[in-house]
Amino acid sequence: MKKLIVLSLLFLSGCFGCDCFHDGTHWNIIDLDMFVTNLQGVPADQGVIEGDSILLGVLFSPEFIGSVQGFANPFIPSAYATSCSPDGGLGLKDPLTAFTLTSNEKFNDFEAGTSLNEILSVYGEKTIEEWLADADTWEFEYMSRANIVITEKPVDIAIRKFQIKMIFESGIVLEKESEVIQWE
């Protein structure tokens, strides 16, 4: 009798075990962190960084949003792993609509506090506008961070901080300030 029950449960597991607990989930960015390095990944040495370009690494803290679909089967949980999208696989639920990087000091032709977006590239190939254009499709697995390159070196050596401001479709605003650096 026990064998029959076990076999029945295994059979039912096969029938219902391939449905996902969730729809692959969307994700939202709920916080961010930032670090500054040169293009070779070397961080500032006691606040001083050298190079013609620098990289701002922006790390996104996620919140995964999904819904339960199907029968939650405890007998063959590995079946879920083979048939479901990863967490955050469906892109941002609340897409990023604006991204601005500023400096607290004058930066060549840019006054302090004005956008430096026109001298930025994302992953060394996209403009900020191109990067934002597909923000709703960002999968967390590939977009848990952004590498933003400031492609123009400041003429004046100054101690400065960079500020990031991100605005989402819902109106939520996230801001972060970098460590103090001197770019030489």
Which tens digits make up the pLDDT trace of 124-143? Answer: 789 999 999 988 888 887 78
Give pLDDT tens digits for 53-94: 999 999 999 988 875 455 455 555 444 445 566 677 778 899
What percentage of the chain reaches a pLDDT higher than 90? 48
- Structure-token match 């989402």, residue found: 168
> Percentage of the chain surpassing pLDDT 70?
76
CATH code: domain of residue 148: 2.60.40
106 vs 2: which has the higher pLDDT: 106
Helix (H, G, I), strand (E, B) or coil at 95: coil
Write the single-letter amino acid at 103: S
Domain that includes residue 80, residue range? 2-183
Q: Please report the pLDDT score of residue 25 as a whole number.
A: 83
In the prediction, which pLDDT does 184 show? 85
Helix (H/G/I), strand (E/B), else coil: 145: strand
Strand-by-strand arrangement of the 26-38 sheet: 26-38, 54-65, 145-150, 120-122
Q: How many domains is the chain partitioned into structurally?
A: 1
Q: Residue ranges of the alpha helices (H) in the chain?
A: 2-16, 78-83, 128-133, 140-143
